Amino acid sequence: MDLLIIAGNARSLIANRGDLIKDMQARGLVVAAAVPTADYLPEVEELGIEIFPIEMGRTGINPLHDLKTLWSLYRLIRRLKPKATFGYTIKPVVYGSLAAKAAGVPRIYSMITGLGHVFTTDSPKNRRLQKVVSLLYRVGLACNHRVFFQNPDDLLEFTECGILRNASKAVRTFGSGVDVQRFAAAPLPEDGLTFLFIGRLLTEKGVSEFCEAAGQLRAEHPTARFIAVGPHDPSLPHSCSVDDLLRWKQEGSVEFIGGVTDVRPWIAQCSVFVLPSYREGTPRSVLEAMSMQRPIITSDAPGCRETVEDGVNGFLVEPRASEPLLDAMRRFIEQPTLVPKMAEASRALVERHYDVRKVNKVILEAMELA
């Protein structure tokens, strides 16, 4: 086996690593993946690789459970004897790297796909957790040959804080890339303006700010349409409350669609894509909307700000506030000629930097698997 991918969850393996797996297979590489049982999806078997379910907690730090995860990964890796491992999200990065090192894997790689809610919310509890998580990252990444970062802010934070002590290991990528052919440019809707949010309904995704701004703008411009696509899982940290979701639905300014298997029909319906997230690795939903030729409103925050040239393919807004978001959406309504102009700029930016073929080439060359 050439490579064992240690996945954060089944959904991300399909959506974010599927193209990378295809490119690896096209080069004759034998690839397999370890996938947490907590959110296993039968669709992962359609990737055409061998899948190994593993027990891994979705969130939180539990020493006993995490030791079991480490032991399970070690046993799996010892049995499979891959030439290399590649983990992403914190537990696969930390425990996957440690297990691979202990099992004698020749080459160990990780990708930092964002820092998660522990780093996006400032509280005494989270400040304590940040110290623990930083230590875990430091120990795990010390085992790595290369570490991929999806944005410069995460890279700077990891090197300045000493989490990644050897900066020469770092490789910058433009997110995970997007298939510019699958997410082909689509005509803009002709009737009215539609603003679309795609993401899990978490506070850190900015869903509350989106709904608040939509309510105010709908009162000013009743023909404007606002859509939110994404699942609501109250068990996840920082999920929006059930009461808030019910209130937003009753207010009626935003149409809530829930989770979907294909976002393309919804992007095709929208005029402007909106993601007021507090922090990301690189938001895949934004790249998909850009690829389908849509202007973007997103936060001037790590991972988000790189996707927008402010005033060229969209607008950057202050995170954690609805008023700047409202102003940006209002500009599109008051100046509708901005929409097609910025839409074309989004597509050009994606083709220049975020084409998945280009991103995968960087990853494979750094892994010496090209």
Place of tokens 């996957």: 96
Does residue 238 lie within any of the structural domains?
Answer: yes
What range defines the domain where residue 104 resides?
A: 3-177+355-366
Q: pLDDT tens digit string along 328-354?
A: 999 999 999 999 999 999 999 999 999
Does residue 76 lie within any of the structural domains?
Answer: yes
Whether residue 362 is found in the same domain as residue 335: no
Whether residue 157 is found in the same domain as residue 219: no
The helix (H) or strand (E) run that includes residue 226 is strand 225-229
Whether residue 320 is found in the same domain as residue 360: no
Whether residue 166 is found in the same domain as residue 221: no
Whether residue 272 is found in the same domain as residue 302: yes
Does residue 182 lie within any of the structural domains?
Answer: no
Whether residue 314 is found in the same domain as residue 359: no
Q: What is the mean pLDDT of the chain?
A: 94
Spell out the residues 6+ positions from residue 294 whose beta carbon is closer than 8 angstroms to its own: 188, 267, 270, 271, 272, 273, 343, 346
Whether residue 295 is found in the same domain as residue 361: no
Does residue 187 lie within any of the structural domains?
Answer: no
Does residue 185 lie within any of the structural domains?
Answer: no
The pLDDT, as a whole number, for residue 126 is 66
Spell out the residues 6+ positions from residue 29 whose beta carbon is closer than 8 angstroms to its own: 2, 3, 369
Whether residue 34 is found in the same domain as residue 62: yes
Give the number of C-alpha atoms closer than 13 A to the C-alpha of residue 85, restricted to the C-beta side. Answer: 32
Whether residue 173 is found in the same domain as residue 200: no
Whether residue 349 is found in the same domain as residue 362: no
The total number of structural domains that make up the chain = 2
Does residue 183 lie within any of the structural domains?
Answer: no
Q: pLDDT tens digit string along 146-166?
A: 999 999 999 999 999 899 999
Report the CATH number that the domain containing residue 289 is assigned in CATH: 3.40.50.2000
The helix (H) or strand (E) run that includes residue 105 is none
Question: Which residues make beta-bridge pairs with 255?
Answer: 227
Q: pLDDT tens digit string along 40-56?
A: 899 999 999 999 999 98
Whether residue 172 is found in the same domain as residue 249: no
Instruction: State how far the Cα of 271 lies from the Cα of 218, in Å rounded to an integer.
Output: 15
The pLDDT, as a whole number, for residue 20 is 97
The helix (H) or strand (E) run that includes residue 5 is strand 3-6
Question: Which residues make beta-bridge pairs with 54?
Answer: 36
Whether residue 68 is found in the same domain as residue 212: no
Does residue 277 lie within any of the structural domains?
Answer: yes
Does residue 209 lie within any of the structural domains?
Answer: yes
Size (the chain), residues? 370
The pLDDT, as a whole number, for residue 251 is 96
